[in-house]
């Protein structure tokens, strides 16, 4: 039986034709001067012993974000980080076991905010790995990481995406370094500062900080402490 909206009753759809929904998490940080992604190693097939993004199936009684936070806590021990929905990936062959549609989330976090745990609650080893160049990952997780990097770089022009990677107050040199690591290239100092000073989400803070042998540098801060 089909309702007025064209959606059949649950009993009319064979179980094998009902896709499962999962969440996958692209957690990024800066470590050793590189943008790195948090990965877990799978212990079981498919893709046994390969590295993958933290994630898992969504329960019937929870929202997508609740599922993302539950899986993040279960796989990494982390609960209090900012997550943003990235994209939905639904290639019919992305999981060889069954039809799985995944909703990806991503976040930038300080490296010390994610304890690298190895407990019975985690299904695999956990570790930070360079986001680029990509290494072979389970399922379509390499594609998901690449998409997250593209989104992140596109947001640099209009949002303070480095907000989670910097202290409350920072110098323009520190901000430029975050941008360079995310973009994967160096930037001209004068052009960067001319461009960044015009951003409405950046303002001067009280005080200065000495960076090496140079004279103390003016401190800045984000007007909002969350990316938009």
Instruction: Return the pLDDT at 194.
Output: 92
What is Dmax (Cα atoms) for the chain?
76
Q: Interior CA angle at 62 toward 59 and 64, to 5°?
A: 90
- If asked whether residues 79 and 147 sit together in one domain, one would say yes
Give the pLDDT band (50/70/90) at residue 144: very high
Q: Which of 154, 170, 205 is the last residue of a domain?
A: 154
Identify the band that residue 4 occupies on the pLDDT scale cut at 50, 70 and 90.
very low
Averaged confidence pLDDT in the chain: 85
46 plus 16 within the same structural domain: yes
- Per DSSP, the three-state class of 188 is coil
List C-alpha distances in Å: 43 to 97, 122, 123, 209: 16, 10, 7, 47
- C-beta neighbour count of 212 within 10 angstroms: 6
Q: Are residues 24 and 80 in the same domain?
A: yes
One domain for residues 201 and 113? no
- β strands within the chain, DSSP E: 20-31, 34-41, 51-52, 55-57, 84-89, 100-108, 126-130, 170-171, 202-209, 217-222
Contact present, 77 and 39 (Cβ < 8 Å): no
Residues 196 and 116 in one domain: no
Q: Is 201 inside any structural domain?
A: yes
Among 104, 129, 154, the domain boundary falls at 154
- pLDDT of res. 3: 46
Assess if residue 1 is contained within a domain.
no
Last residue in a domain, options 131, 154, 177: 154
For residues 38 and 138, membership in a common domain is answered with yes
Distance between CA atoms of residues 86 and 71, nearest Å? 16
Confidence of residue 227 (pLDDT cuts 50, 70, 90): very low
- One domain for residues 20 and 87: yes
The answer to whether residue 144 is domain-embedded is yes
Q: Report helix, strand and coil shares of the chain as percent, to nearest 5.
A: 25, 30, 45
118 and 165 together in one domain: no
Phi, psi of 197 (to 5 degrees): -70, -15
Is the same domain home to 46 and 86? yes
Is 27's pLDDT higher than 90? yes
- Helix axis angle for 189-196 and 172-183, nearest 10°, is 100
Is 149 inside any structural domain? yes
- Range(s) of the domain holding residue 171: 160-222
178 and 145 fall within a common domain: no
The predicted model gives 147-167 an average pLDDT of 88
Residue 193 in any domain: the answer is yes
Q: What is the CATH number of the domain that holds 210?
A: 1.10.10.10
140, 214: one domain: no
Q: What pLDDT was estimated at residue 225?
A: 53
d(CA 204, CA 215): 17
Residue 177 in any domain: the answer is yes
25 in any annotated domain: yes
Are residues 26 and 85 located together in one domain of the fold? yes
Number of domains present in the structure of the chain: 2
CATH code of the domain containing 94: 3.90.79.10
């Amino acid at each position: 039986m089909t309702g007025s909206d064209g959606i059949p009753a649950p009993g009319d759809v064979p179980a094998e034709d009902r896709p499962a929904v999962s969440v996958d998490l692209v957690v990024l940080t800066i470590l050793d001067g590189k943008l790195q992604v948090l990965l877990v190693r799978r212990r079981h097939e498919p893709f046994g012993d390969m590295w993958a993004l933290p994630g898992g199936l969504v329960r019937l009684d929870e929202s997508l974000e609740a599922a993302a936070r539950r899986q993040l806590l279960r796989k990494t021990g982390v609960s209090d980080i900012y997550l943003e929905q990235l994209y939905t990936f639904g290639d019919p062959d992305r999981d060889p076991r069954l039809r799985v549609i995944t909703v990806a989330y991503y976040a930038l976090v300080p490296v010390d905010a994610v304890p690298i745990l190895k407990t019975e609650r985690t299904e695999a080893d956990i570790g930070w790995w360079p986001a680029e160049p990509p290494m072979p990952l389970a399922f379509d997780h390499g594609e998901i990481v690449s998409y997250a990097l593209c989104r992140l770089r596109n947001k640099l022009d209009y949002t303070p995406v480095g907000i989670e990677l910097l202290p409350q107050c920072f110098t323009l040199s520190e901000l430029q370094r975050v941008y360079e690591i995310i973009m994967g290239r160096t930037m001209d100092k004068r052009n960067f500062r001319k461009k960044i000073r015009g951003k409405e989400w950046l303002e001067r803070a009280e005080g200065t900080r000495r960076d090496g042998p140079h004279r103390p540098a003016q401190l800045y801060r984000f007007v909002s402490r969350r990316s938009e």
